[in-house]
């Protein structure tokens, strides 16, 4: 299953007011969270607002940095896309991840702005296998 992210409203505002988030050059991370986390696109603005991160073998707190990030402009369809390599946690044992949260990582949770989240639709688990987030062919985020 390939997925795209739902942007938080604070990220949309940052796009419009010129706040300092550069998806192509900043450290952008994705973390996994249990079904006990309830995404709130209105009030969640920084990573310290995000709760219930998963734990497990092969998973480090804070998640993983996205690699090979790219922002592209599609003049034919009047869109812009943000994409990166699929995110993975090899040889992991994760009991139940329901959400993934994408953020700019500043090194401090209270100053790391959230960008978007993915709802897997149900808990996903691994038992010594690779936990994989496969981004959609159109990328992680699409702005129309």
Do the Cβ atoms of 36 and 138 come closer than 8 Å?
Answer: no
Residue 37 confidence (pLDDT) above 80: yes
**Nearby residues of 101 by Cβ (< 8 Å), 6 or more positions away:** 30, 31, 33, 37, 39, 47, 50, 63, 114, 116, 117, 118
Q: How many Å apart are CA 32 and CA 133, to the nearest integer?
A: 10
**Mean pLDDT, residues 70-88 taken together:** 97
Tell me what pLDDT residue 58 has: 97
Q: How many Å apart are CA 32 and CA 73, to the nearest integer?
A: 29
Tell me what pLDDT residue 75 has: 97
144: confidence class by pLDDT, cuts 50, 70, 90? confident
Give Cα separations from 62 to 53, 80, 102, 103 (angstroms). Answer: 8, 27, 10, 10
**Mean pLDDT, residues 28-56 taken together:** 98
Residue 96 confidence (pLDDT) above 90: yes
**Mean pLDDT, residues 53-59 taken together:** 97
**Mean pLDDT, residues 12-27 taken together:** 94
Do the Cβ atoms of 141 and 3 come closer than 8 Å?
Answer: no
pLDDT digits (tens, 9 = 90+) for 99-129: 999 999 999 999 999 999 999 999 999 999 9
Tell me what pLDDT residue 1 has: 67
16: confidence class by pLDDT, cuts 50, 70, 90? very high
**Mean pLDDT, residues 58-81 taken together:** 97
């Amino acid at each position: 299953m390939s997925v795209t992210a739902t942007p938080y409203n604070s990220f949309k505002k940052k796009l419009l007011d010129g706040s300092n988030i550069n998806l192509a050059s900043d450290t952008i991370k994705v973390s996994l969270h249990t079904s006990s986390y309830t995404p709130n696109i209105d009030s969640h603005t920084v990573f310290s607002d995000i709760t219930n991160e998963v734990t497990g073998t092969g998973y480090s707190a804070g998640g993983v940095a996205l690699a090979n990030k790219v922002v592209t402009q599609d003049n034919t369809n009047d869109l812009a896309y943000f994409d990166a390599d699929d995110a993975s946690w090899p040889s992991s044992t994760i009991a139940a991840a329901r959400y993934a949260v994408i953020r700019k990582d500043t090194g401090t949770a209270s100053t790391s702005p959230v960008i978007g989240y993915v709802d897997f639709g149900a808990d996903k688990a691994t038992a010594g296998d690779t936990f994989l987030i496969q981004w959609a062919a159109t990328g992680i985020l699409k702005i129309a």
